[in-house]
Amino acid sequence: MQSLQQQIKVYEEEIQAFQPQNAQELEAYRIKFLGTKGIVKQILGEMKNVPGDQKKEAGQLLNAFKQLAEEKWESNKHLQEGSNKKESNIDLSLPGSQVQMGTRHPLRMVENKMVGIFEKLGFSVASGPEIEDDWHNFGSMNLPEHHPARDMQDTFYVSQNPDWLLRTHSSSIQARVMENEQPPIRVVCPGRVYRNETISARAHCFFHQMEGLYIDKNVSFADLKQTLYYFVTEMFGANTKVRFRPSYFPFTEPSAEMDISCTVCGGDGCSLCKHTGWVEILGCGMVHPNVLRNFNIDPEVYTGFAFGMGVERITQLKYQVNDLRLYSQNDIRFLRQFESI
Instruction: Give the separation between CA 135 and CA 172, rounded to whole angstroms.
Output: 9
Confirm whether 213 is domain-assigned: yes
pTM for this one? 0.68
**Mutual orientation of helices 55-75 and 2-17 as an angle, nearest 10°?**
10
pLDDT digits (tens, 9 = 90+) for 318-340: 888 888 888 988 888 888 888 76
Reported confidence tier of residue 77, pLDDT bands at 50, 70, 90: confident
Task: Tell me the pairing of strands 185-194 and 124-125.
Answer: parallel
Same domain, 217 and 161: yes
What is the distance of C-alpha 201 from the center of its chain?
A: 23
- Tell me how far CA of residue 283 lies from CA of 159, 202, 250, in angstroms: 29, 18, 12
Instruction: Check residue 338 and report its DSSP letter.
Output: G
Confirm whether 97 is domain-assigned: no
Same domain, 220 and 305: yes
Last residue of a domain, one of 54, 87, 120: 87
307 against 13, higher pLDDT: 307
pLDDT digits (tens, 9 = 90+) for 107-149: 999 999 999 999 999 999 999 999 999 999 999 999 888 777 6
Last residue of a domain, one of 56, 87, 118: 87
Instruction: Give the separation between CA 321 and CA 143, rounded to whole angstroms.
Output: 34
Say what the pLDDT of residue 119 is. Answer: 96
Say what the pLDDT of residue 15 is. Answer: 83
Confirm whether 112 is domain-assigned: yes
Whether the Cβ atoms of residue 179 and residue 185 lie closer than 8 Å to each other: no
Say what the pLDDT of residue 340 is. Answer: 67
Domain that holds residue 320: 106-338
Q: How many residues does the chain have?
A: 341
Say what the pLDDT of residue 149 is. Answer: 63
User: Helix %, strand %, coil % for the chain, to 5?
Assistant: 45, 20, 35
What CATH code is carried by the domain that includes residue 203?
3.30.930.10
Whether the Cβ atoms of residue 256 and residue 284 lie closer than 8 Å to each other: yes
pLDDT at 3 over 80: no
Same domain, 72 and 125: no
pLDDT at 21 over 80: yes
Same domain, 48 and 185: no
Whether the Cβ atoms of residue 322 and residue 315 lie closer than 8 Å to each other: no
Confirm whether 101 is domain-assigned: no
Say what the pLDDT of residue 151 is. Answer: 67
Instruction: Give the separation between CA 277 and CA 266, rounded to whole angstroms.
Output: 7
Instruction: Check residue 101 and report its DSSP letter.
Output: P
Q: How many other C-beta atoms are found inside a 10 Å radius of the C-beta of residue 91?
A: 6
Instruction: Give the separation between CA 2 and CA 294, rounded to whole angstroms.
Output: 85
pLDDT at 89 over 80: no
Same domain, 225 and 307: yes
Percentage above 90 pLDDT, the chain: 45
Same domain, 166 and 136: yes
Same domain, 217 and 332: yes
pLDDT at 247 over 80: yes
Confirm whether 100 is domain-assigned: no
What average pLDDT does this structure show over 50-78?
80
Instruction: Give the separation between CA 6 and CA 138, rounded to whole angstroms.
Output: 81
What is the widest separation between alpha-carbon atoms in the chain? 100
Confirm whether 96 is domain-assigned: no
Average pLDDT score, the chain: 87
Lowest mean pLDDT among 23-37, 74-88, 102-116, 220-234: 74-88
Task: Tell me the pairing of strands 163-166 and 131-133.
Answer: antiparallel
Number of domains in the chain: 2
pLDDT digits (tens, 9 = 90+) for 188-227: 999 999 998 888 877 888 999 999 999 999 999 999 999 9
Confirm whether 237 is domain-assigned: yes
pLDDT digits (tens, 9 = 90+) for 145-195: 877 766 666 888 888 777 899 999 999 999 999 999 999 999 999 999 999
Same domain, 113 and 243: yes
212 forms beta bridges with 188, 307
Whether the Cβ atoms of residue 263 and residue 316 lie closer than 8 Å to each other: no
Same domain, 52 and 130: no
Give the type of residue at 207. F
Reported confidence tier of residue 82, pLDDT bands at 50, 70, 90: low
Confirm whether 137 is domain-assigned: yes
Instruction: Give the separation between CA 248 and CA 128, rounded to whole angstroms.
Output: 25
Same domain, 71 and 152: no
The closest of 1, 72, 82 to 38, measured between CA atoms, is 72
Last residue of a domain, one of 87, 122, 151: 87
Same domain, 110 and 33: no
